[in-house]
Structures are given as structure tokens and as C-alpha cells.
Structure 1
Amino acid sequence: MGVAMIATAVVVALWVCLGVLLVVVWPRLGSHRGWRLATLVVTMAASLTHQLAYGTVPDEAHVGFRYARNIADGYGPVFNPGEPVEGYTDFAWIVLLALARAVTGADVQPVAVTFGIACVLGCVLVVYALTGRILSWSGRGPAFAVAAAVVTAATGSLAAYGPSGLATPLFVLLVLTLVYALVTGHIVLAGLVASLAVMTRLDGVVVAVVAGGWLVIAVLRGRMPRSSPAVYVAGAAVLLVPWAAWRVTYYGDALPTEVVARLARASDSLVGRLGAGWTYVTDFALTYQAFLLVAAVTIGLLSYRRRLPGATYVWLALVLALAEAGYVLAVGGGTLPAWGQLAAVPVLLTVAAAGGVALAGDPASRGDPAPGSGTASGSDTASSGGPATGSVPTGRGVAVVAVVLAGLSVTLGMARTLPAMEELRTAEHELGDIGEWLGARLTAGTVVSAVPAGSLADAAGSQLYVVDPSGTTDAHLARHPEDHAYIVRDRMPAVVVDAVGGYLPDRTCRIHTEYAGPYEVVPFRRAGAGSGEAAGGRWVELYLHRPQADLLTERLTADPRFTAEPC
């Protein structure tokens, strides 16, 4: 807890300095490139510090790591060699990690953490570029773009997943890049980026469809060439068609096993799943209610002042945020802290709010000039952010609002998320420690059953066949979760690991009823593991297959750190 408090204090102090800087230099941001660059540099430093304060790789990320490592090592996109099961939905992310390992020989985890942090920093820069592009005809654009970048860097649901090793930061970056491609009129690029979003996270399908629908509406209103939707679909098909054909041929299933397992575990009914999703979304809304308030103000301004140049892109960001929330509601939310499933929503709302308020507050927008006409460019009033008669005030008050949003996001996120991330980090380290032990002592080809299986399987290596009873990496268990009879009868693991949260503080000698016949429980004391060191260690209880129990115990206790103490 001491480390968490220190990390929180450092992050908050840095953000206070950034907030003061933004408010002080606000009048100069529109006309002085040097001040914009300096503020962005400090923002990037604050974003990096914010991400490193979390520094947690959850168990789920290690599932992808094992797939990526197996691809790079020649086993193919499998969790266990010889078992083609699609236990992931982040194909593009896994391939990226596999390529990095194949080219450099580096371990997958540090590469994933580095890429994730870089993607979050990329999100900050793309938000700056995107907001500036939406407001390119306005002198207020640069200042509002900087403010949007600052708020994005402060978003806890994004920063917490920068060093997570998950595909979340890449997905948010792709969503922002898709919007930027549409704003700049690069329709083929938009299609390619949309396909990458689909290949990175399942809700990329929702994002791609919304972007396509927006293009259709833009064509009907005469804002885009008639061929735009067809060009967009063609650009997306370049990657999606061969990828879909390959995965159906290779895995033989229409839906990824990971998706089937998630839906089977989520609830026994649609109503229950929607209830879980509603709880997840409303909890997010309570934490990010300031963002929602600003978004509501933006919608009111755009509804009152219609036909504003660039407003169509603001509406696109708002609709994408709403679609993301609707998708998460429908699938039952998520299990990890910090609302990673909704990480794109605050960022999209930030872009929409910055663009919408700037458009509604700029007096030049009343004439509805065409984008890029530069009607307000170079205006001293616009660049200084001073309010004009009849316009929405957009002076230092905007900087203050941005600072408040950023401060609330950082402090609330750290207060609510950091302790949960620390618990995940501890469990992940302990499960990895158990996996390394099993991988080093068990013979190649040994079948091990473990839930959660990510950290343990990744640390154990590909020489062990790991069965996850939750069904993420097994086609039968995905449709029939917790079918222990299938595990015992068909998979026949030599070792069943009962370590959901890592090491146990005490020996329990309990065994699940479904394993009681063919297995016996053997507690192992891990000397000097974690906080239990003063009490003589912590415990992990394994269910060992009875015919092999003595031999397995002998092999496992060859590691001096582990001592078997039978019940």
C-alpha cells in the first residue's frame, strides 16, 4: 500500500503541474507553436508516468502471449501444440507480438507492454491531430486540440491498460485513426483501419458498421462522393475476407472459442447478461459522470446551433461512443477493473466535447463557412480564446474545465483502480511462479488443468498441455463450462491446480467432489513466497492423479523451494 500511495502522489503532483501549465499558457496555445509543443511534451511525460503507476499485466493477457510465442516458435496459432482452438479475439495484436518475437527474439511480455504504452501515447497524439483537423478552419482549433490531448492522457480506463499487455490500447488507437481517416477523406485507409479494428477486438465489428453507416448518411446528404461506402467496404475486405476464410478453415468454427466460452459463462439467460452489462456500464457512468455531463452539454450545443462546419465528425465520435457502450451492455460487461471494455468511450467523448464546444463557441461558425476556408484563421480573438458577443464563452474557462476533467479522472481512477490492479499483479506473479515450477519439474507432454490458465500456462511453456476448465481454449468446455467429467475422462490431466488467486495463506486439504475419486490432494509449501514468508511460506494445493501421485510428488519436491506436506 505504501508503494501505491507514493505512485499516486507522484502522478497527482505531475498532473497538478500540467494543469497549471495548461491554464497559464492557454491564451498562447492558438498562436504559438512552441507553447503547444512544450505542453504536449509535458502531457506525454504525464501520460507515461500515469501508465507506469498501474504497471499490471493481468492473467488474460498471458493467453495471448502463449499464442504469440507458439506462432513465433513454429507451433502455429494454438494454445497447446497440435490443438487448433481459437481462444482469443485479438488476432492482429497476437500477430504483431509474434512478429516482434520472430524478428528480434525478445520475450513476448516486455514487447507487449512496450507496444501498449506506445499505443496510449499514440492515442494522445492522434486525439490532438484529430481535434485540430476537425477545427482546422478555426483559430481556436490548436488550443482545444491540446486540451483534448491532456484529458485523453488523464483517462484512467486507457492509462491502466497501457502496460497491461492486452490489445485495448491498440484498439482505441485504431478507432481514433479510423475517425481521422474519415475526417481527412481517406476512405480506403478508413476501410483498412476498420478491418484491423475488427481483427483486434470483437467490438471492432460495431465500430466498423457505425463508420460505414455514417458514410452512407454523409453520401445521402451530399457530403461524400457516392462511391465512398463501396470504397470503404472494398478497403475493409482486403484484410477481412482472407482472414475470415483462413480462420474458418483452420479452426473450423464460425465464432471464436473464447467468445462462446464468455457467453456461456456470462449468464444463464439474456436478462441476466443484460443485468451484468447494465451494472458494468452504470458503474462506469458514475465514475465518468463529468465526461458524460460535458458530452450532454455538447449535444445540446450542437442541437441548438445546427449546420456547424465539422459538426458531422463530432456526431460520429458521439455515436461511436454510444455504440461501444451498447455493445458492452449487450455482452454483459467485463471482469477486469478500470472498465477496459469501455476504454474508447471517454476518449471519443473528449474529442466530441472539444470539437463541439469550440465549434459552437466560435463566432465565425455562424456564417457556416466551408471546412478549410480559414474564415477564422489568424483572428486574434479566436487564437486567444476570448469570447465573442453571442457566442459560447471559450476563454480560460475551457482550460479550467479540461483540468478538472483530467484531475477527476486521474484521482478517481487511481483511488479505485490502483488497489485492484495491485491485487491482479500479485496473483499474476504467484500464478506465474507456480507455472515456472510445474514447467521445470514435469516431463514434456504432461497435461495440467488450471483455472485461470493464462499466467500459469505462459510461464510453464509449450511443453505442458494446459486445460482451462473455463473453456477459453477448449471447444467442448466452451459450450459446456465446468464439465469436470469431460476433463477427468477425456483430457485426463496428471495435475489439477487449485490456485485461482495465487498462493493460499494456509493448508486446507480440500478437494472438489468431482476430482475426489481419481485424484488426491497434496499441499505444497512454498518457502519464502510473498507476504507469508514470516509465517514460513505460503501454500499451493495440487490434485495429483492417484496412479502417478508418488512420482509426481517426487519430481515436484526436487525444487528446494517447495515441500510436500500430505494431508
Structure 2
Amino acid sequence: MKFGYRIIFIVSVVIFFLNCAYYYPFFSDDSLISLRYTQRFIEGKGLNWNDGHPVEGYSNLFWILCTAILGKSGLDLIWAARILGLACSVGTIAVILNCFRKLHVKKEYVFFATLLFVTTPCISVWAIGGLEQPLYGFLLTLVLTEVLYIITSKSFRRIYLLSVWLGLLALTRPDGFLFTIITAGFLLFTYRQTKTNLLTITLAVVCIPTLFLLSQLAFRYTYYGELVPNTALVKVKITFHHILHGAFYTLSSFLGTFVLSFLGLYSLFILVIRKKDLFGFYLLLNIAAWISYITLVGGDIFPAYRHYYVVLIFFIFSIILGLKLNLPNWVHNKLQAGIAILIVINVFLQYNIPQNHRAVEERWEFKGMNLGSTLKNTFPDKTLIAVTAAGCIPYASELPTVDMMGLNDYYIPRHPPANFGTGILAHELGDADYVMTRNPDIVIFDVGNTPSFYIGEQLKKNKTFTKNFIKVTASDRDADYILFFNTYGNSTGIKRTDSELTIPGYLFRNNEDNAVLFTKKKLLKKMSINNRYEIILNDIPSKNWKIKNVLGKNLEVDTEIYQKNGQLTIIMIPKKELLLESLVLEGKD
């Protein structure tokens, strides 16, 4: 094979981009949580999700800061995250190729491993998916190249670059400091015979990355008043249930990336057991630590084995070095056919794995963003929404929001249910009584669905929710959304003075007809001919209430108003199909 490294790079990047195009426009809901923090940071509102008491509902500080830099230039934030992900992924490929070019590894070995890497969907999906995995992988690749340089050259000339990469890893994700611990321990043990080396390693690999970590801890405590981020409180509870789920996740990830993972594991066996290779031991330590960590915290819930990204990078290094140290010369001439066969097998397997196919099918985030944009254009900017999907709807609506799952809320993670640790990862929390005390104007499950998760089951039993919230099916263009409106919400509920009541049309109930329509920045109640629609209001002053005004279209309707036992009942029966915007009542003594 006569390809030069530049040709290998070009071919690899082209295949990588084709793979990205296949999964486009996948974008994770959690990415949009991060982008809400980014947007507010750019606007000068601070690193927070809402006004008021700030909480740290993100776990990717350096990623948010990088996207903020691109966003500040005027670039759309979703594209900023995609471009950053693509750039980091291409950077990872370039660093791998450059590293092994300098080590004079045969191009065939590097090309083979790189092709396996770029044809594994985990890499492409998360390059465009909006979360920090590409940056994390890029920094980890830089760490690996620096450690490999130290081992092969027996020189600490570039060790302070290693300091920076480890420090930035710790800022990219809280678990990034794990690699500082492993790298420092490995290098200190390996070069323990020389005092000068020990001092250099301690300063560069222990002290400097620790300063990065301590700086973030100081910022967290000063700004958020906490030492532990909300993400840990919501997602981390070490229980048998989570460990079992984490073990299954790890096994599924291995089988879901079988060609690359099997070759990586076999190559690691060659490096460690047969060759006693020092860098092989370093790779083994990292893989064991990362897999143990992922297993303990319960794995992950996103498509394409997101947290396995790290392991794939380790395996790429082990495959290349395993081929370099173990492949006999007589095999070299037959390598091209073997590469072609394995790459074809890998591509075929990857495109038939359900977890990868999820990234092709998962598009509900865009439906949620459409709903968020509609809410933003329809209701006042102080409208308080309560959601379970904390990314797409809050990001697009820019409205103040209660995160009912707790990730971006101060109270909920600090008051977990008794069965926390036995449910779906990151979807176990919720406090219906607390949510109701916040008096949200609109409650939204998923991106407009019936009550779900633990919080949904609680709210279905909550008296305030069942009494005061009206379920509607809202149509907007080609989509329908199930929303729950608060009759007494500050922005979307009834408006009252001593002598006047303004009742939005969408608050009128009919057991069989709850259709409403978003149109021209308004939400109108669709009422069918001869159907009975009513609303019952509590604690209304006893007066002679009469209709003052009716807003809407085709307003031919019979109306009945009566008051009994402190309740005001208004009944409307249309004479023909109508769209009701609001009903205004005037009360006289």
C-alpha cells in the first residue's frame, strides 16, 4: 500500500464526513441544556439556566466556554457545537497520524486503525451530536501521544504540554481528572528511581492539573455555593441496580463495536502479556479505570455508546502498536486484503446495530425546539414552564423553566425519593408538591405528551395538578402537542380584577374535545357545534357576572353563567364551529 500519511488523512476525513452526513441532523437534548447555559453566558446573565439561584446543571465547562467563543462571533450555537465537534474529531485523526508518522510505524497499520475509527458511528454521531465527547477525545489523544513520547524518547522535554492537556481534560468533564490520577501514578512508579524525574513529574503531572481542578472547584463554590455539581446529585447513586445497568452498558458497547473492540483488546493482550510493553500497561490501566467508573455510575442513556468513545481511542493506540510489535514481515503483503475485509465487516455491523440506528431515528429534539419557539412567540417572556425535556423546549423558548427531573433545579436533587438508584438513569427524581408550589403556567412532559417518568406518576395523583391544570392538544403546523395549562397561572391563567375576569379560551373543558390551535402568535380554543364547554372557577367574589366581550372567530354561541357555593361556572355551547381567544366577564354588585 503506497499511500502517504497525507493521503491517509484525506481519505479518513472524507469517510468520516460521509458517516457524519448519514447521521445528520442528530442533536442531543442534553446538548441543548449546555447551549442554554452558553446563550445566557453570552448575553451576560452568567453561567446559569434561570434567573435567581444559579445551579450547575452541566458537566462540560470547557466545552461550554469554547462554544461561547464561537457563539459570541454571531454563529448559531447549534452550528457552533457541531463545528467544534467536527474540528475536534478531525484533530484527533490528525494527532494520531502525526504521532505514529514520527514513530515510523508502517502506514498500513495506521491506515487500518484509522479506518476502523472513522467507520465506527460513535465517533461520527457525537461529532455532530453537540456534547463534549469530541473535545474530550481530542484532549485524551493528546495526553496519550505525550505519554508515548515520554516512554519512547525517555525525555521529559514536552511534559508541560501533558500538564495542559490533563488540566483541560479535568475542565471538560469532572471525570477527566481520573486520567491525571492514572497518568501521575503510572509515571511516578515507572520513573521512581530518579529523584529529578520524580520532582518533574510531581510538578507537571500532579500539581499543574490539580490547579486546574482546584480553580474550577473554587469557581463552583464561589458562584454556585456548592462543591458538587447538580449532574452528580441527579445521575450518580451507586446501587446494585445501577452497577448492573452499567455492566450491561459496557458489554453492549463492546459487542456494538465488536471489530474495533475485539482487535483492540487482543492487541492489548499482545502488548501487555507477550511483549510486556510499558505503554500497553498504561493503556490497560486507563481502560480498566474508565470501564470501572462507567459501570459504577450506571452507564449511559444516549445513542451510539457515548461513554465508550474514550475506550475506542485507547483501542486505536493498542491496535497500531500491537500490529507494529507483533505482525511478522511475511504477513505484510497479505495485509491489504485483510484490511478491506475487516473494514467491510465493521461497516456492515455498525449500520445494523440498534443503538447506532437510534441516532438516525431520534429527531424529537427538533419537535421540542419548534414547540419552544411557538411558546416564545405566543406567551409573555415571564411565562413559567415546567418540563421533563430540559434541553430543546427551554433552549428554544428562552422562558423561565422548572426542570422537573431536577438537573437544573436546586431543590429537587437535594430531596431525592426513597427509591433513588433503582430507576432509569437521570430520570428518577421529581417532587410534585414542589413543582406545584412553583405555580408553573404550563406543564410539558417529553415534547408534548401524557405524564411520564416518576414525576409524571406523582403529578397524576396530585390534587392541585388534577384540579387546576387543563389538558389540551395543541396543533401547530404539522405537529400536535399535549400541554397542561394552569387555570390560575400568572401568565396563561385567568386575569382578574375586582370587577372583571378575562378567561383564555383554551381553559374551557370538554371531556371529549380538548383541541386548541396555535395561529398568528395566539392560542385559540377550537369549539365544535353543539358541544358543551365549561370552566369552573374557585374563590370568585359573588357578583352579577355578565359577558363584556368575546374575542375569536365565528362567535355564535349560547352562554350560561351561574355562581354557587363560591364557584363560578361558565358554560358555552357553539351554534357553529368557532375559535375562541378569550372571554371577558364584568361583575356588578
User: TM-score, with normalisation over the residues of structure 2?
Assistant: 0.75
Instruction: Give 1:4-153 correspondences, 5 Å limit.
Output: 26=1, 28-29=2-3, 35-55=4-24, 56-102=26-72, 104-133=73-102, 136=103, 138=104, 140-153=105-118
Q: Look up the match of 1:375.
A: none
For residues 488 and 477 of structure 2, the distance between their equivalents in structure 1, rounded to whole angstroms, comes to 29
Q: Look up the match of 2:295.
A: 329
For residues 314 and 273 of structure 2, the distance between their equivalents in structure 1, rounded to whole angstroms, comes to 21
Residue 497 of structure 1 pairs with residue 434 of structure 2 = no
Go from structure 1 to structure 2 and tell me whether the alpha carbon gap of 1:501 and 1:82 turns closer, same or farther (over 3 Å shift): closer
Cα distance per residue 1:446-488 (max 9 Å; x no partner): 2110111210000001xx2111111000121123321110111
Cα distance per residue 1:160-215 (max 9 Å; x no partner): 11101111111111111111122234222112111211111232122221111221
Q: Specify the SS of the correspondent of 2:472.
A: strand
Shift of residue 503, structure 1, vs aligned partner: 6.1
Residue 339 of structure 1 pairs with residue 305 of structure 2 = yes
Go from structure 1 to structure 2 and tell me whether the alpha carbon gap of 1:230 and 1:161 turns closer, same or farther (over 3 Å shift): same
**Which of 168, 172, 186 is the equivalent residue of 1:200?**
172
**Matched-pair contact (CA < 8 Å) for 1:273–1:331:** yes
For residues 83 and 474 of structure 1, the distance between their equivalents in structure 2, rounded to whole angstroms, comes to 9
For residues 468 and 333 of structure 1, the distance between their equivalents in structure 2, rounded to whole angstroms, comes to 22
Residue 424 of structure 1 pairs with residue 336 of structure 2 = no
Instruction: Give 1:44-443 correspondences, 5 Å limit.
Output: 44-55=13-24, 56-102=26-72, 104-133=73-102, 136=103, 138=104, 140-185=105-150, 186-220=158-192, 225-226=197-198, 227-263=200-236, 270-303=239-272, 305-306=274-275, 311-361=277-327, 386-387=329-330, 393-397=331-335, 399-416=336-353, 417-425=355-363, 427-443=364-380
Instruction: Give 1:416-565 correspondences, 5 Å limit.
Output: 416=353, 417-425=355-363, 427-461=364-398, 464-479=399-414, 480=416, 481-489=429-437, 491-498=438-445, 500-502=446-448, 512-514=460-462, 515-529=464-478, 538-546=480-488, 548-550=492-494, 559-560=519-520, 563-565=524-526
Count of equivalent residues: 478
* Amino acid paired to 2:405: S
For residues 468 and 327 of structure 1, the distance between their equivalents in structure 2, rounded to whole angstroms, comes to 27
Go from structure 1 to structure 2 and tell me whether the alpha carbon gap of 1:181 and 1:49 turns closer, same or farther (over 3 Å shift): same
Q: Specify the SS of the correspondent of 2:46.
A: coil
For residues 445 and 41 of structure 1, the distance between their equivalents in structure 2, rounded to whole angstroms, comes to 50
Q: Which has more radius of gyration? A: 2
User: TM-score, with normalisation over the residues of structure 1?
Assistant: 0.78
For residues 518 and 110 of structure 2, the distance between their equivalents in structure 1, rounded to whole angstroms, comes to 60
For residues 408 and 253 of structure 1, the distance between their equivalents in structure 2, rounded to whole angstroms, comes to 49
Cα distance per residue 1:66-104 (max 9 Å; x no partner): 0001111000000012331000000000011112222x1
RMSD of equivalent CA atoms: 2.7
* Amino acid paired to 2:439: M
Shift of residue 401, structure 1, vs aligned partner: 4.4
Go from structure 1 to structure 2 and tell me whether the alpha carbon gap of 1:451 and 1:304 turns closer, same or farther (over 3 Å shift): closer
For residues 134 and 268 of structure 2, the distance between their equivalents in structure 1, rounded to whole angstroms, comes to 27
Go from structure 1 to structure 2 and tell me whether the alpha carbon gap of 1:167 and 1:503 turns closer, same or farther (over 3 Å shift): same
Q: Look up the match of 1:367.
A: none
For residues 175 and 110 of structure 1, the distance between their equivalents in structure 2, rounded to whole angstroms, comes to 24
Q: Specify the SS of the correspondent of 1:549.
A: coil
| Farther-moved stretch of structure 1 (547-556 vs 403-412) | 547-556
Percentage identity across paired residues of the two chains: 19
Q: Specify the SS of the correspondent of 1:51.
A: helix
For residues 354 and 328 of structure 1, the distance between their equivalents in structure 2, rounded to whole angstroms, comes to 25
Shift of residue 560, structure 1, vs aligned partner: 4.2
For residues 408 and 467 of structure 1, the distance between their equivalents in structure 2, rounded to whole angstroms, comes to 47
Go from structure 1 to structure 2 and tell me whether the alpha carbon gap of 1:400 and 1:121 turns closer, same or farther (over 3 Å shift): farther
Higher RCO, Cα 8 Å, sep 6+: 1
For residues 422 and 516 of structure 1, the distance between their equivalents in structure 2, rounded to whole angstroms, comes to 36
Q: Specify the SS of the correspondent of 2:57.
A: coil
Q: Specify the SS of the correspondent of 1:516.
A: helix
Unpaired runs of 5+ residues, structure 1, are 1-25, 30-34, 363-385, 388-392, 505-509, 531-537
Q: Look up the match of 2:556.
A: none
Go from structure 1 to structure 2 and tell me whether the alpha carbon gap of 1:224 and 1:119 turns closer, same or farther (over 3 Å shift): farther
Go from structure 1 to structure 2 and tell me whether the alpha carbon gap of 1:48 and 1:127 turns closer, same or farther (over 3 Å shift): same
Shift of residue 495, structure 1, vs aligned partner: 1.2
| Farther-moved stretch of structure 1 (106-115 vs 554-563) | 554-563
Query: As a proportion of its length, which structure holds more helix?
Result: 1
* Amino acid paired to 1:301: I
Q: Specify the SS of the correspondent of 1:525.
A: strand
**Matched-pair contact (CA < 8 Å) for 1:109–1:165:** yes
Go from structure 1 to structure 2 and tell me whether the alpha carbon gap of 1:361 and 1:225 turns closer, same or farther (over 3 Å shift): farther
For residues 343 and 390 of structure 2, the distance between their equivalents in structure 1, rounded to whole angstroms, comes to 36
Unpaired runs of 5+ residues, structure 2, are 151-157, 417-428, 451-456, 495-502, 508-515, 528-532, 534-589
**Matched-pair contact (CA < 8 Å) for 2:35–2:77:** yes
Q: Specify the SS of the correspondent of 1:521.
A: strand
Go from structure 1 to structure 2 and tell me whether the alpha carbon gap of 1:344 and 1:410 turns closer, same or farther (over 3 Å shift): farther
**Matched-pair contact (CA < 8 Å) for 1:314–1:352:** yes
Q: Specify the SS of the correspondent of 1:89.
A: coil
For residues 356 and 91 of structure 2, the distance between their equivalents in structure 1, rounded to whole angstroms, comes to 23
Go from structure 1 to structure 2 and tell me whether the alpha carbon gap of 1:281 and 1:300 turns closer, same or farther (over 3 Å shift): closer
* Amino acid paired to 1:559: T
Query: As a proportion of its length, which structure holds more strand?
Result: 2
Go from structure 1 to structure 2 and tell me whether the alpha carbon gap of 1:552 and 1:229 turns closer, same or farther (over 3 Å shift): farther
Shift of residue 493, structure 1, vs aligned partner: 1.0
Shift of residue 306, structure 1, vs aligned partner: 3.3
For residues 400 and 229 of structure 1, the distance between their equivalents in structure 2, rounded to whole angstroms, comes to 47
For residues 263 and 565 of structure 1, the distance between their equivalents in structure 2, rounded to whole angstroms, comes to 45
Q: Specify the SS of the correspondent of 2:408.
A: coil
Go from structure 1 to structure 2 and tell me whether the alpha carbon gap of 1:52 and 1:233 turns closer, same or farther (over 3 Å shift): same
Q: Specify the SS of the correspondent of 2:236.
A: helix
For residues 266 and 373 of structure 2, the distance between their equivalents in structure 1, rounded to whole angstroms, comes to 53
